[in-house]
Structure 1
């Protein structure tokens, strides 16, 4: 059965969508053809490829997939369709958003075939793009080991043992990899780059505890409003909470990152200037979040901290 060509307006829309996406990346200062590698200490991946067929993508799809991986912090450049993930024994995680890629083809309309038949000329084909959706291996689960994304191992000694123990004890899905730090409320997981990606590895702890602070707001934990989108007041307020949570938790654990928390909070001055009570409310929420995290400290350390506070109280 011959493939039906897309209407001219729909064909034009795909070109326009792709162009607008590239323009948006350029306006954000991101060049989608400059960073084709994973910036997570494992730079072996360069070209995006289909993990099922082993074929590399070409043309505009390279830019689209590089851009998606950079924007969303994927650890690698292996991609699959929904059905390909199933055929390999895995699946795309529920709620994951795919990336649109395109397939270039040509179509000869019947009118052109009729004209060519009458004139004896070769029929002219009309080029068109067909869109389909792929998912990064990071967005899948249950894939074979050779396809599943593998984060580079963290060298011993880079993560404070107490922080490592706390993260594990919380039960929060905490992933190390990629080149961005973020928390995804919808899927309830944290992702941060590996410690070796930081100029000062001590700063990894502030970042990890910042994102863990966001995770405390999940409905199953402290149930804060995490619905704010980037740039809005709700988002800024939640960032204040997470940053102070990291500051309070680092202080309680005796960790001194080189990043100054006050400098980071300064970028949210607009919120503070609009609402004189905002910093008080944010600090209160941050204290609750820090207490929630610190409750998972190993028992021996928590007992030692309690003994120290008791000794200080007696001495006073």
Structure 2
């Protein structure tokens, strides 16, 4: 049985939407360090990639934690004296070109032809998957920068009072771990400003509100549609908390979620009503829990 033809456009769209739904769009990073988020990916000859290839390779670098912006084919690596490591998976990149096809009615005339565009898939590897290349191809990871961003004690007290466990480590990822019922945050000092830190923390608290011992909204087996819906609930919760706690909004960041929301709302025009109701319940729970625990501690 023939294998289905690889659909590059669908593949790229699926991966980017998946990362947006996770709240981790590959072109945005509110903290410093990790992969060179703002370095344009380049070919083996240092010519920058353009267009969709920038997003494709940024996304893959984001997913795999690659620090280098250099990408090349298996053959190019071999010609440079390198060897792709065993088991290394390639990343599809797009190559646009044209070929000439002569018009049937004027085939006798060499000067009359049509230029037909085509899209081809190239398979490339990041240099961090390749051994033996010249040293100049390898990049050192960018260390986190201490920007001097300081915590806001009023906000710290509020989030502590929710009773939701929070862990900080040098790992430059923010996420809610449902298995441990714990939020992980990068150090606040690596964020460009405190507002971004607390906005993201609010979003993760939105997720945590759905834990089984709280509002019981989350399940380990959620499909993509359900995860997209959960991202919408968490972001609406964060927006409500932002107003309540006077955290300045960053609409450029919030806009990253819109694509997933629009798709969900096109399928069901009642989804925004349901999400707003779930967000209101999450907001009420978090604020109420914070007030209750704060009152208990003051007694």
Structure-1-length-normalised TM-score: 0.45
Structure-2-length-normalised TM-score: 0.48
Larger RCO (alpha carbons 8 Å, 6+ apart): 2
